[in-house]
């Protein structure tokens, strides 16, 4: 997913997706003192590096506070200059300078948000806590500025007589919508209430993010005896030993957790008691103790509901969805309900097959059988996979060496499809030695942008995988894209190869889909650049890009044994491809459960939101009412560590992944029926979708590419589901 997502917010108020829910300021007076611009602070001046890439090797923690303060003050003066102008408002003297304002703040925000997500420190977290309410106040000062809104409103009223080109007209219309949705039409009393709500929400978002990161690190499982790790590969055991050594636990083994409910080692560990320990530690995160998040959740849900009511909406979901392609909560509820029954039926059938294996093994061994539990699913599902398709992950991992996946897979696919090429740049500074940087060129040799790669996990990085930007493309600003992909792949000991699971391979292709969306952007205005599209559209390019991970030509190019260089045997490759629908009942059910929790919490009015002690019970009841409370399949995220929703930009929007997947699988079907991996197909997608950002309506963009309305059939087929199931 994209980390910095500016849809619904102007360039003048860049959102720090990793630092707060909205962008700062404590003193809004025009006479505010301006921090001295120090030549030693590299944030104060535009970078002289290629593509205006920030000099990450020179930026220090102490540079952020003064840069934030100076950036807010600078933008404050720029906005006041627009308002104080005596001339009648025009597009050129109001909208354009708004788009151009806040460059120092934007530059600082992007670097800071990337670091606090990818390589944070206690000192950065302290600044994050301090700056988020200031950013919220700064954002409110702009969008609740009566004189500024008056100018925007006056232009909006006569927009069709201004002679604007289509993208400029859309920019004016988007600004008007953003001002109204931000509360610009409220009276002064209600504006004051709104400001307080936004400030509180920004603080709570930061607290949630920090608690989740600390909680996932604290929940790591310490194992005393290597015998308990039976089932893991020697490399994985070495990784666990290195993780223990890093925590001053030499001689022991540490299994670090990811932010999801289920954990990768559960598919391999033979020790059932250890599997249970890992699972129970995972779901216990945020439920009491030093890193509790239930109180934060209760406050956030209530505040969001109160803010929605203040703005005239029945609940937070109605407010959010009005500006997405879904438009209404009913549309989202209908789609989720349509899929839930089929997913659960398939998951129960998968569970029955797993239970048969458990019972058969117990009988063969003369031991007591047991009921399938969540911590057993992945372990036995892997056996079902092996029996059904005659392979397991240990057979395929040697063919998925990380560098080959990156260079011969992800980048090679983009070269074949779009005609672009990549050149590694070792002279561009990074914030960590484990990173790669590639310069990207069009087929004619013209420069396209920079692509940063940061794939290894570490304690200072938040969980999951995401794309973010250091610089966004804009013809108005004369900038090209500088984008970053983050994954969380365990780093092996020095000298050992990094071998990926097929899920990790797919994630790498997914995140590059976001990167391509940013790199191919070709818009005039920063507001529309790259991934600045609705949440339920932004995942479309990334989910579609997953198809190239299993394209025969691409797979044959990167799936080579890390020791011999031999390609993956065709028989094994065929099994990998055939297994794509395996376990989809489980995968779809766990995802839908999380999406339904998100909607249930955010479709409540303020007087019905749960208290901290009832968050868990509310979640369980919501799943029961939705018919998806199947004990063996937990939600992909429980609320207590659901960072997408409580620390990111996906509140009332986690459904976006499956909504976008309808578009993605329809696109995959389009490619399959139009010749597949061909340049003309890639050029069509680039021209009609990937280059357009949000300069035109998202669904209009899709229909222009696809030729008709999207349909759900290809999604169901790809997951082996049927709406008639059950």
588 token code pair: 């779809």
621 token code pair: 């009841």
Distance CA(403)–CA(449), nearest Å, equals: 21
**Taking a C-beta distance cutoff of 8 angstroms, is the pair 692, 525 a contact?**
no
439 token code pair: 């310069």
The active-site residue out of 228, 511, 546, 590 is 511
**Taking a C-beta distance cutoff of 8 angstroms, is the pair 516, 690 a contact?**
yes
Residue 482 dihedral angles phi and psi, to the nearest 5°: -125, 110
DSSP strand pairing (481-489 vs 436-441): unpaired
- Kindly state the helix (H) or strand (E) to which residue 255 belongs, with its residue range: strand 253-255
Residue 41 dihedral angles phi and psi, to the nearest 5°: -100, 110
* Residue carrying structure tokens 């990074």: 430
Q: Strand, helix or coil at 560?
A: strand
Distance CA(212)–CA(654), nearest Å, equals: 18
**Taking a C-beta distance cutoff of 8 angstroms, is the pair 690, 523 a contact?**
no
Distance CA(485)–CA(503), nearest Å, equals: 16
* Residue carrying structure tokens 């990380």: 402
DSSP conformational letter for 712? S
Residue 560 dihedral angles phi and psi, to the nearest 5°: -130, 140
Known catalytic membership, residue 443 = no
**Taking a C-beta distance cutoff of 8 angstroms, is the pair 526, 476 a contact?**
yes
Quick one: which of 178, 29, 183 has its CA closest to 99? 178
Q: CA-CA-CA-CA torsion for 658, 664, 668, 669, nearest 10 degrees?
A: 70
514 token code pair: 């976001």
C-alpha separations of 97 from 81, 162, 476, 635 in Å: 9, 17, 11, 46
Distance CA(245)–CA(256), nearest Å, equals: 13
DSSP conformational letter for 256? P
> Which strands, in side-by-side order, build the sheet including 481-489?
421-424, 436-441, 447-456, 481-489, 466-471
Distance CA(10)–CA(148), nearest Å, equals: 13
Active site residues: 511
């Amino acid at each position: 997913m994209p980390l910095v997502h500016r849809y619904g917010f102007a360039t003048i108020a860049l959102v720090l997706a990793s630092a707060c829910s909205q962008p700062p300021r404590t003193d809004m007076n025009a006479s505010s003192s301006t921090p001295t611009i120090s030549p030693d602070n590299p944030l104060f001046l535009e970078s002289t590096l290629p593509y205006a890439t920030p000099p990450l090797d020179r930026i220090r923690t102490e540079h952020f506070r003064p840069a934030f303060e100076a950036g807010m003050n600078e933008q404050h003066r720029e906005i006041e200059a627009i308002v104080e102008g005596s001339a009648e408002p025009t597009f050129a003297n109001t909208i354009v300078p708004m788009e151009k304002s806040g460059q120092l703040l934007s530059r600082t925000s992007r670097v800071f948000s990337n670091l606090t997500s990818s390589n944070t420190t206690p000192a950065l977290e302290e600044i994050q806590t301090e700056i988020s309410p200031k950013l919220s106040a700064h954002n409110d000062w702009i969008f609740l500025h009566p004189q500024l809104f008056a100018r925007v409103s006056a232009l909006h009223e006569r927009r069709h007589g201004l002679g604007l080109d289509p993208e400029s007209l859309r920019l004016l219309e988007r600004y008007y919508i953003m001002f109204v949705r931000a509360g610009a039409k409220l009276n002064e009393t209600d504006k004051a209430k709104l400001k307080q709500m936004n400030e509180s929400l920004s603080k709570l978002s930061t607290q949630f993010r920090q608690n989740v990161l600390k909680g996932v690190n604290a929940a790591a499982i310490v194992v005393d005896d290597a015998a308990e790790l039976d089932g893991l590969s020697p490399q994985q055991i070495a990784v666990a030993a290195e993780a223990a050594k890093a925590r001053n636990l030499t001689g022991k083994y540490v299994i670090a957790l990811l932010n999801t409910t289920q954990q990768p080692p559960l598919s391999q560990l033979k020790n059932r008691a250890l599997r249970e320990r890992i699972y129970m530690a995972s779901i216990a995160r945020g439920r009491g103790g030093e890193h509790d998040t239930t109180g934060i959740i209760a406050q956030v849900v209530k505040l969001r509901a109160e803010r929605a009511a203040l703005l005239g909406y029945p609940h937070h979901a109605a407010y959010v969805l009005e500006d997405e392609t879904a438009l209404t909560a009913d549309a989202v509820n209908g789609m989720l309900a349509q899929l839930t029954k089929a997913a659960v039926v398939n998951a129960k059938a998968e569970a029955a097959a797993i239970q048969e294996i458990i019972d058969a093994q117990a009988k063969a061994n003369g031991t007591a059988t047991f009921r399938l539990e969540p911590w057993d699913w992945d372990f036995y599902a892997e056996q079902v996979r092996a029996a059904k398709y005659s392979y397991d992950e240990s057979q395929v991992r040697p063919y998925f060496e990380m560098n080959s996946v990156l260079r011969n897979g992800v980048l090679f696919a983009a070269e074949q499809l779009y005609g672009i090429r990549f050149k590694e740049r070792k002279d561009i500074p990074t914030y960590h030695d484990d990173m790669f940087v590639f310069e990207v060129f069009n087929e004619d040799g013209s420069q396209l942008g920079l692509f940063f790669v940061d794939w290894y996990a570490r304690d200072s990085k938040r969980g999951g995988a995401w794309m973010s930007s250091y610089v966004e493309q804009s013809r108005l600003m004369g900038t090209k894209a500088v984008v970053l992909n983050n994954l969380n792949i365990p780093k092996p000991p020095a000298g050992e190869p990094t071998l990926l699971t097929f899920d990790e391979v797919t994630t790498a292709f997914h995140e590059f889909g976001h990167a391509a969306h940013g790199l191919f952007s070709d818009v005039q205005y920063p507001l529309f650049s790259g991934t600045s599209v609705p949440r339920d559209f932004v995942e479309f390019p990334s989910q579609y890009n997953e198809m190239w991970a299993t394209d025969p030509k691409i797979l044959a190019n990167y799936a080579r044994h890390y020791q011999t260089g031999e390609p993956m045997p065709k028989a094994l490759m065929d099994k990998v491809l055939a297994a794509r629908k395996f376990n989809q009942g489980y995968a779809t059910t766990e995802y839908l459960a999380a999406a339904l929790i998100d909607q249930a919490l955010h479709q409540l009015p303020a007087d019905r939101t749960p208290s901290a002690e009832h968050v868990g019970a509310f979640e369980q009841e919501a799943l029961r009412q939705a018919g998806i409370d199947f004990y063996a399949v937990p939600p992909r995220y429980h609320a207590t560590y659901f960072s997408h929703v409580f620390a990111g930009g996906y509140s009332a929007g986690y459904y976006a992944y499956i909504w976008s997947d309808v578009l993605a699988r329809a696109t995959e079907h389009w490619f399959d029926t139009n010749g597949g991996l061909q340049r003309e197909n890639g050029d069509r997608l680039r021209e009609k979708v990937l280059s357009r950002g949000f300069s035109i309506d998202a669904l209009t963009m899709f229909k222009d590419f696809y030729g008709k309305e999207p349909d759900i059939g290809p999604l169901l087929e790809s997951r082996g589901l049927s709406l008639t199931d059950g």
